[in-house]
Structure 1
Amino acid sequence: MAKKPFLSLVWDQWKKVPPVAVADLQGKTVVVLGANAGIGFEAAKHFAKMNPGRIILACRSQARGQEALQCLKSETGYEKAELWIVDLAEFSSVKAFADKFEKDGGRLDVLVENAGMAPPFDNTAEFTIDGWEQVNNLGPSLLAFLLLPRMLQTAKKYATTPRLIIVTSGSSLNSTLEDALINSDKPLRTFGSKEYCTKSVMGSRRYYDTKLLNVLFTRALSDRLQTNSLIVNTVNPGFCYSELRRNMPSGIAAAGIWLMERAMARTAEEGSRQLVWAAVGGDDQLDDLRGAFINNLEVCEAGDFIISDKGKSVQEKLWLDLVDELSAIDSRVRGIVDTYLK
């Protein structure tokens, strides 16, 4: 499969980022995962300036989330932001977040699934309390399924078109999955196993592969929606100054990242504009946004592997496997799939 040339990726980084998209969010509810820092926090600030009915900052840390909440209020003057705690590395936390939203009974117009993790810098796999190395994929996918009915109910009740945005990376365009995964009877189990997550895999391809899985999930979910009343898309914020690298030890690798950041990194605010556009922009091309890969505030073609026959076959296999695995974690998933998806 042909890959996007490195110089093309660099050129994308050097393009001037257009101004942030603006919309009237009066009365609407926006949820932003990973909103305590970086592009998530900057996106939340942009949303706050559009006067939504409420913004929910979904964060893992109570202390850091509370600090972000106060900063958002002081910097924007917006007083209707709330802090909700969710740890995507724990399925019980994801389910508790969805349960809280269901009991709350409010509408849900925009869900930005921004939270993610880079592999540890020593390339050692870290496993969740549930036994998976899958923080970037299983937790966000489970939450998307559990909140899907609320988003579709919002669409029907308020005659609006909610949006689910899954943050990926430009690295997904050049990623493919190894045959060991593709040929596995249980590819996600293989992907999250100690045997597969060697230091070589973690160091060379893990982050890129997780971001590819985000794109494949987005496309599969969008394809199966029974209605046009919900838009699901995925967005590349670009290479930004990020807290993902805040604990990186000193050394050659750190020096290389330092140089790359100064040569081509966007600010977190510039990266956040990509998320905001995916959430509220493109009103003149809504159909094009469905299942779309968004880059530099426009709909772009996904990578060669993703749109190939092989990629489509892998996408189908991973979707079926994901539904099986998440249904075992939460029995509601199967009912949601049978009720709302083709």
Structure 2
Amino acid sequence: MSQHLEHRAAFETHLIGFFYRQWLMYQKPWPKGTNLSGQTAIVTGSNSGLGFQAARQLCQLGLTNLIVAVRSQTRGDTAADKLRKEFPNSSVSVWLLDMASYDSIKAFAKRCETLPRIDITILNAGIRTDVFRPHAVTNHEIVFQINYLSTVLLAILLLPVLKAKKPTSPGATPPRLSLVTSDTAYWAPPFKSPGPVLVQCDESENYKPMAAYPRSKLLQQFFVSKLAEYVDPNDVIINLSNPGLCGGTEFGADAKMGLFGRTMFTIFQGINGRSVSAGTNAILDAVVARGKETHGNYMSDWTIQPFPSCYYTKEGQILKERIWEETLEEFNFAGASKIIQDMKR
């Protein structure tokens, strides 16, 4: 449906649209009878902020098994201990996952095969930085690497695992896979055209953090909208979820804004930011309260929202195909193309 909401894209992109979302859109109560008993969920980046709150809210809904997927064992154990004390009926496990390492991502996806069932997967881990920093191994700019490439690779590797773990009981909801994105994609600077797309994310000259971060999220939206065409929602429901601007998170914690920049951002965030609880509720709405109607869509503010305006243009559709091809080429080492083709069978 996001693919058909071009008429609303301009408003959502406008600053008025941002303030409307932040001030006038409120979290909705869970559908009557919502209960996650017997279900298993995976949340990446769940030791703090939105990820931790997502884990907590899932347990509040009666989740039986939770996988806390984090980079640090110590921080993961601290978060898990808090959850175990508050929710003794939920089983909480800490699994290591370094989104800066393709080997770690592949190992994590392989480990997921050992789970008897997987109902909900939330790919929340991501970063923002104000300093251009190339990845030590891939040489990709680190925000582009983690927010887009690593997140999309993990999503692809998990698809056949989730399909194999789907419940077989009549009327059961298929596994849900949601990539946490951002409405900053509405303001991402355009890519140069024609020519390769992804290499533009690795340009160090005139690096701008508030270009790199929105671009990483824009790429997510282009890719997932295409990926959903290859995945049967009866096997896996895949979507994108946006928490909106939230206060009280570690967003931008590793950014070097300077005193003035940090002060201004903190004030803006404090005035306009949602609570972490509300932002998390918006994310979970996409995987708990909704179903197949969200497949391939951008979920924001408790509803299906349009993609950025550029998506609907002729150039945007060409861009989508280019992003798709270049991304799959990047993942030749992991057999991504075959995985996706096999999902259609």
By the TM > 0.5 criterion, same fold? Answer: yes
Cα offset, 1:106, TM superposition: 2.2
User: What is the aligned counterpart of 2:17 among 8, 15, 19?
Assistant: 8
Matches within 5 A, 1:63-102: 63-102=74-113
> Could you give the per-residue CA deviations for residues 28-72 of structure 1, whole angstroms, max 9, x where no partner exists?
211001111111111111111222231101111111111110111
1:240 maps to what in 2? Answer: 246
Partners of 1:20 and 1:273 within 8 A in 2: no
User: What is the aligned counterpart of 1:337 among 315, 337, 340?
Assistant: 340
Partners of 1:225 and 1:340 within 8 A in 2: yes
Distance in 1, matches of 2:30 and 2:125, equals: 21
Matched, 1:277 2:312: no
Distance in 2, matches of 1:327 and 1:144, equals: 15
Distance in 1, matches of 2:204 and 2:222, equals: 20
Name the CA shift for 1:20/1:166 in 2 (closer, same or farther; >3 Å).
Answer: farther
Matches within 5 A, 1:1-342: 4-21=13-30, 23-102=34-113, 104-119=114-129, 121=130, 123-133=131-141, 134-155=145-166, 157-158=168-169, 159-179=172-192, 182-185=193-196, 187-188=197-198, 190-193=199-202, 196-198=203-205, 200-241=206-247, 242-248=249-255, 250-283=258-291, 286-287=292-293, 289-328=294-333, 330-331=334-335, 333-341=336-344
**Secondary structure of the structure 1 residue equivalent to 2:90:** coil
Cα offset, 1:131, TM superposition: 2.4
Cα offset, 1:227, TM superposition: 5.0
**Secondary structure of the structure 1 residue equivalent to 2:156:** helix
**Secondary structure of the structure 2 residue equivalent to 1:235:** strand
Name the CA shift for 1:191/1:65 in 2 (closer, same or farther; >3 Å).
Answer: farther
Cα offset, 1:24, TM superposition: 2.1
Partners of 1:114 and 1:166 within 8 A in 2: yes
Cα offset, 1:258, TM superposition: 1.6
Partners of 2:186 and 2:307 within 8 A in 1: yes
> Could you give the per-residue CA deviations for residues 258-304 of structure 1, whole angstroms, max 9, x where no partner exists?
21022101121111001110111135xx32x1111111111112221
**Secondary structure of the structure 2 residue equivalent to 1:137:** helix
**Secondary structure of the structure 1 residue equivalent to 2:251:** helix
Cα offset, 1:204, TM superposition: 4.0
What is the identity, as a one-letter code, of the residue corresponding to 1:321?
E
**Secondary structure of the structure 2 residue equivalent to 1:129:** coil
**Secondary structure of the structure 2 residue equivalent to 1:118:** coil
Unaligned residue ranges in structure 2 (runs of 5+): 1-8
Name the CA shift for 1:201/1:230 in 2 (closer, same or farther; >3 Å).
Answer: same
Name the CA shift for 1:252/1:110 in 2 (closer, same or farther; >3 Å).
Answer: same
Unaligned residue ranges in structure 1 (runs of 5+): none
Distance in 1, matches of 2:151 and 2:45, equals: 11
Distance in 1, matches of 2:39 and 2:136, equals: 34
What is the identity, as a one-letter code, of the residue corresponding to 1:337?
I
TM-score, reference length from structure 2: 0.88
For the aligned residue pairs, the C-alpha RMSD in angstroms reads 2.1
Number of residue pairs matched by the alignment: 327
Partners of 2:123 and 2:179 within 8 A in 1: yes
TM-score, reference length from structure 1: 0.89
**Secondary structure of the structure 1 residue equivalent to 2:94:** strand
Distance in 2, matches of 1:143 and 1:76, equals: 28
